[in-house]
């Protein structure tokens, strides 16, 4: 657990330095618990989420960075890879593709990338996943 705390304090210092460098992500550590974080991320440009700000909740396990954080959207979002009711995110790096090289900041970047490029083949929101597949097929038939 001590290693986890040290890693999170290191990430906290890095986040403080990167505040200006990455205006699309604002990561904040809970004042009373280093294992609880929130983030505000900006919706990626040229997507339906452009102009929006989305809140994420991070629950970091004591085995971090050997185990991934649990991350969910607090802001409601209609996206194939986000469960509409719980905000759970279907993203491989938060499951079986996790590596200790990932940081909370890089997880935010990956979530922003997922928002721009959904994976309708592994939906948590089935309605959104079906709609994305229909739109993809429609775009292919029109050669868009």
Indicate the pLDDT class of residue 143, thresholds 50, 70 and 90: low
Share of the chain above pLDDT 70, in %: 83
Q: Which domains does the chain have, with CATH numbers?
A: 1-141 (3.10.110.10)
CB within 8 A of 41, min separation 6: which ones? Answer: 24, 25, 26, 53, 54, 56, 108, 111, 112
In this structure, what are the phi and psi dihedrals at residue 23, rounded to the nearest 5 degrees?
Answer: -70, -10
Whole-model pTM: value is 0.85
CA 32/CA 17 separation, integer angstroms: 21
pLDDT for 89 equals 96
With 0-12 / 13-18 / 19 or more C-beta atoms within 10 angstroms meaning exposed / middle / buried, residue 80 is buried
Q: For residues 135 and 45, which has the higher predicted lDDT (pLDDT)?
A: 45
pLDDT digits (tens, 9 = 90+) for 73-124: 999 998 889 988 999 999 999 999 999 999 999 999 999 999 999 887 776 6
Give the distance between the most distant pair of CA atoms in the chain: 56
Residues identified as active-site: 90
């Amino acid at each position: 657990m001590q290693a986890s705390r040290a890693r999170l304090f290191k990430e906290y210092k890095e986040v403080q330095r990167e505040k200006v460098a990455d205006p699309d992500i604002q990561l904040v550590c809970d004042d009373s618990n280093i294992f609880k974080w929130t983030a505000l991320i900006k919706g990626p440009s040229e997507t339906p989420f452009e102009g929006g700000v989305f809140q994420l909740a991070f629950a970091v396990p004591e085995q971090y960075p050997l185990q991934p954080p649990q991350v969910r959207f607090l802001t409601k979002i209609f996206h194939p890879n986000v469960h509409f009711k719980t905000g759970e995110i279907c993203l491989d790096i938060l499951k079986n593709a996790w590596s200790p090289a990932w940081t909370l900041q890089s997880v935010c970047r990956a979530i922003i990338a997922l928002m721009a490029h959904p994976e309708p083949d592994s939906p948590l929101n089935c309605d959104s996943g079906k709609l994305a597949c229909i739109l993809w097929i429609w775009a292919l038939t029109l050669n868009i």
